[in-house]
Structure 1
């Protein structure tokens, strides 16, 4: 404007531009000064909301760490309850502060707010369902972090639970993420809820033919259970006869363990011990169809093979046996030769009698 004001033909234009800029800045300043009371009110409301959130955080952290105890309120509910109340406080704060925002009464601002609200509600249906499912799961106390569970055919340890998903680490060291809505709609098997107090019951079954007495089968199964590591002796394992089928009896071995995270290994060891126990006891575990069409073939009981002796101990006896065989051959041959001679001598008198 200073340069344009040096010339007569542009001086009026420069004065008009300077006046427009001055009026705009003056209007903004007056608007800011006028908005200061509303801004102060909005800041006070936001400050109060912040203090309320801080107070809620302190209370629920105390509940979570069990420094504060509320009757009927479990510590695992504290985190979710805090998030819900914080969200409620923030929503109420936005509703109260909204009229004090500059331009909040303009139709354009209201139209944009409505458009964003509709867009968010239509696009977040699945997300909202997962959030609601996560809240329901929390207050039903289906599981906690670190529990060993089975959800939707996925077995493992709970390592994380967020507002949208639950993560499980399987025994194969694989992390599986399940949406909270899927967790809520499926059954949850929690192996850790009673593990430390009374333990969980492991069970496995075998089918044995009617030719084997049931006390013998029970004895072999109980011996296999007692030989398995991490199987508790109290309560003692027991065996049930679960079915009397056409060709076999179904037995179920039940045993208790407190090591829920070792379930796959305990089952493997238990099955191995059952096989060893029945092999030593001389009882074969066969298919009922195979048992029904038995045609005299060999038994299916595995034969226990001893490891072969070292080579130096095998070679020497073999040579000695061959030497003994060679030494005994002449003697055997001599004995065989003497027997025909004696037979000839006994036969000669008979021939002489015939001639006479």
Structure 2
């Protein structure tokens, strides 16, 4: 029990010592800086305990002395009296307060003398404003100035409202007159009906900005007319001047960097124009195999894009606000968005470049890409559009085209045009010479198939039950829809020719000969509801 009691006593003693030491080391609330304000005017900030008096007590004492001096006399002189390393501020014959070296702000660079002179100057303003507040003539003059300022303020507001109404009445006519001049050919770039709401919103915003500025200036002027509210008016005016000065310094400071950025952009523009001329000369026949009239336009665009990206990277540090955290955060956000979405975009763009420079496809060529067949109408950076014979427009990703076998019906023909082919299978009991002759006859009857080069028939396979015959011909250039019509006419002529010669079109899995041959005699070609065409 005795040991436990001793342990408890020692613990309490240690706790008391720690609290005492913390209280000694911690800053005292009584030593906190206190501002001396007299008649709403800031005179000085006391930061040190002097002669046993804390800053709060020094402020109370100084207020009492200054108020007594102001009540006793009107014309008071404020002077400084040095005492050792401090200064005594006197109002009349009374000591107002003492400025010690510990009262000097440690953050600033002012000395004790400068701090004392500034405090004495503020106290002189207090004396002068007190005398002004006791003068009826000066107060009446201030009231007249405030009333005149209020009248001017209200007149400006009314004038602004009147001017806004006049502008809104004339705005439609002005916009209609100027928007009609903004034309490219016969196309009007801007419609006045869409521009009017935007212009009215801009005028509304400008009106309220002017109202706020006028109110701010009026309030600062009126408050500055009266002694008690003069510090508030001065603070408003000083704040507006500081903002204006900050904006002016920012604009002046941004001019050199902006000039360098504009110079870089002008150089980039000249380099882009120069590269266009060089590439146009290099695209002439015999210079480069990969650069011709087809690849000149995408090569020019890529070169210009590279030049402008390089110019943007060079001019970025000189742009106004490039070093701010907001600009850096925006750059990081844009970079993150590009990184997340660039995988598929870059792949599609690379595929588009491969198709362009390998000249796999050209606009106007008839191709088959996988299971899609049609005429190429547009070869873009990311997608390729083809129009089928049925009038459908298909948009195919370039990456899909590069990963698929592409059959081009227009590339290997002689001259302009495209290849037309079809496959029929006839039994082995029909002579192959007869089949070839009938297929050539059907091609000859089809309007749109060229005689030179002549159509050809190839036996592409000898299957278990029948040989395969492929008719290959060249057609004249035409739209995708007529090509589908051409194939339909060719298939119809093949059936007619085979029926005329009594040859059965059938690809059987052979089990036995039919009792009757499967062909259509001529007298049944136009059975109802079909109608025989009239001869011209």
Q: Which TM-score band applies after superposition, normalised by the shorter structure? A: 0.7 to 0.9
Query: Structure 1 residues 304 and 122 mapped into 2: Cα distance closer, same or farther (>3 Å)?
Result: same
CA drift at 1:105: 2.7
Q: Secondary structure at the match of 1:206?
A: strand
- Give yes or no for the alignment of 1:283 onto 2:500: no
CA drift at 1:193: 2.1
Residue 264 (structure 1) aligns with: 484
CA distance in 2, matches of 1:76, 1:198: 17
Asked if the contact 1:63/1:78 (under 8 Å) is kept, the reply is no
Q: 2:241 aligns with which of 22, 42, 62?
A: 22
Q: Secondary structure at the match of 2:395?
A: strand
Alignment of 1:98-113 (within 5 A): 98-113=316-331
Query: Structure 1 residues 119 and 235 mapped into 2: Cα distance closer, same or farther (>3 Å)?
Result: closer
Q: Secondary structure at the match of 1:126?
A: helix
CA distance in 1, matches of 2:465, 2:246: 99
Residue 165 (structure 1) aligns with: 383
CA drift at 1:116: 2.0
Residue 457 (structure 2) aligns with: 239
Alignment of 1:302-321 (within 5 A): 302-305=520-523
Alignment of 1:176-187 (within 5 A): 176-187=394-405
TM-score by length of 1: 0.75
Q: How many residues align?
A: 304
Asked if the contact 2:410/2:419 (under 8 Å) is kept, the reply is no
CA distance in 1, matches of 2:454, 2:492: 20
Residue 361 (structure 2) aligns with: 143
- Give yes or no for the alignment of 1:48 onto 2:267: yes
Q: Which one has a bigger Cα radius of gyration?
A: 2
CA distance in 1, matches of 2:280, 2:235: 63
**CA root-mean-square deviation:** 2.8
- Give yes or no for the alignment of 1:222 onto 2:443: no
Q: 1:155 aligns with which of 373, 394, 397?
A: 373
- Give yes or no for the alignment of 1:122 onto 2:336: no
Query: Structure 1 residues 50 and 227 mapped into 2: Cα distance closer, same or farther (>3 Å)?
Result: same
CA distance in 1, matches of 2:253, 2:266: 21
Residue 407 (structure 2) aligns with: 189
CA drift at 1:272: 1.8
Residue 71 (structure 1) aligns with: 288
Residue 252 (structure 2) aligns with: 33
Gaps of 5+ in 1: 309-356
Residue 303 (structure 2) aligns with: 85
CA distance in 1, matches of 2:459, 2:366: 30
Asked if the contact 1:60/1:79 (under 8 Å) is kept, the reply is no
Q: Secondary structure at the match of 1:275?
A: helix
Q: Which moved more, 1:52-61 or 1:78-87?
A: 52-61
Q: Secondary structure at the match of 1:121?
A: helix
Query: Structure 1 residues 106 and 247 mapped into 2: Cα distance closer, same or farther (>3 Å)?
Result: closer
Q: Secondary structure at the match of 1:305?
A: helix
Asked if the contact 2:465/2:507 (under 8 Å) is kept, the reply is no
CA distance in 1, matches of 2:369, 2:223: 78
Q: Which has the higher contact order (CA 8 A, sep 6+)?
A: 1
- Give yes or no for the alignment of 1:6 onto 2:219: no
Residue 274 (structure 1) aligns with: 494
TM-score by length of 2: 0.51
Cα-to-partner distance string for 1:196-245 (whole Å, 9 max, x where unaligned) = 52865543333333333333333323322322223333343333334444
Alignment of 1:288-303 (within 5 A): 288-289=508-509, 292-294=511-513, 296=515, 298-303=516-521
Cα-to-partner distance string for 1:145-202 (whole Å, 9 max, x where unaligned) = 2222222322222222332221112222222111222222222222222335286554
Residue 344 (structure 1) aligns with: none
CA distance in 2, matches of 1:31, 1:246: 88
Cα-to-partner distance string for 1:62-111 (whole Å, 9 max, x where unaligned) = 777x6x97433211111111121111111111111111123323344323
CA distance in 1, matches of 2:286, 2:463: 56
